[in-house]
Amino acid sequence: MQEDSLQISLFDAEPSSSLYEYRMKLEKIKDTLLKFGLTANQAKVYIYLGKYGAKTAPEVFKALNLPRTETYFILNTLEKRGILTAELTSPTRYYALPIEKMVLTIVNAEKEKLNTLAQQKNEVAEMWNDLPSFAVETNETKNDKLQMLQGSPQIHGKMADMIGSAREQLLIFCTEKDLYRFYHAEMLDVLANFIIDYKIIVSPAQAFPSFLSDVDKRHIRLMPRSAIENQCFVVKDGLEVLQFLRNATHAPYNTFAIWSDSKSMTDSMRTLFDYAWDASEPVY
């Protein structure tokens, strides 16, 4: 009874409780596990088993106050994903994989999915090209296009495509947090050998980011006096713009951006960049 009470109070500790600090850490861990593709209740079950040891399904749904059927479904799902192991006893007891092995298991599974998709790319493209096209070309004026993107993988994928297809100029206005994410997404590697004009404004920033050692400092300027940390946009060749509505001040899964080839929008953002470039400071 005392152990059950401790478990419940740890997950539901009030701010006045001595266990509240641990609850906050558990919440941060749970948020991280969500990025690895677990649901909130799946993360909670994993944490519970990882910290309190092997338990049966009834022990899990009683301690965590989860629906009985959902608990069995979660346990079976996590077992199939290789995150839990089941002991051949009656009733069945479930063990959580150590956190390092759990993360590695999920990462390897995602890599396998990507490898499978990559192998099928040519096959799908070939079948697609075999189908006739029924679109009718007209002389109508081209309409501006708009695309909404949520989550760092989708946004970074679009940005990588813009960088890779740039032919004349690339303009990036961002915070140091945004630039750090771009760097770890390996989108800035190409800039070291970029043969076209590119400019980067980091705002706010007091010093040249140390992680950009391979980037020519002449292409970067800083705006140390700015207090705004939510501005980030990319302009490619004066033809496309990627505007962040929620940038790196938000969690990766909660970032949001719009892409457009609207001339008025692209011209406006390029003009804004030019003014900001003149008002910013060179890096020495």
Place of tokens 């004066």: 238
pLDDT band, very low/low/confident/very high, at 75 (cuts 50, 70, 90): very high
Element (H, E) at 148: strand 146-150
Same fold across 2-99 and 146-282: no
Closest CA to 216 of 187, 194, 236, 183: 194
Q: Is 256 helix (H, G, I), strand (E, B) or coil?
A: strand
- Evaluate whether 253 touches 154 at the Cβ level (below 8 Å): no
pLDDT tops 80 at residue 142: no
Task: Check residue 37 and give its pLDDT.
Answer: 84
Dihedral of alpha carbons 30, 34, 40, 43, sign: negative
- Evaluate whether 202 touches 179 at the Cβ level (below 8 Å): yes
DSSP state of 132: P
Pick among 3.40.50.1820, 3.40.50.300, 3.30.870.10, 2.140.10.10: CATH of 146-282: 3.30.870.10
* Residues 2-55: tens digit of each pLDDT: 444 445 456 666 777 766 777 778 888 888 888 788 888 999 999 999 988 999
DSSP state of 227: -
pLDDT band, very low/low/confident/very high, at 137 (cuts 50, 70, 90): low
Across residues 84-105, what is the average pLDDT? 89
**Burial of 250 from C-beta contacts in 10 A (0-12 / 13-18 / 19+):** middle
Across residues 125-147, what is the average pLDDT? 78
pLDDT band, very low/low/confident/very high, at 61 (cuts 50, 70, 90): very high
Token duo for residue 178? 């945004």
Element (H, E) at 193: none
Domain 2-99 has CATH 1.10.10.10: yes
Q: Edge to edge, what strands does the sheet with 281-282 contain?
A: 146-150, 256-260, 240-246, 233-236, 169-174, 197-202, 220-222, 281-282
Predicted TM-score of the model (pTM):
0.60
Token duo for residue 204? 């706010």
Token duo for residue 58? 């009834």
Task: Check residue 138 and give its pLDDT.
Answer: 63
Taking residue 178's Cβ as centre, other Cβ atoms within 10 Å add up to: 24
Task: Check residue 198 and give its pLDDT.
Answer: 94
- Write down the domain spans for the chain: 2-99, 146-282
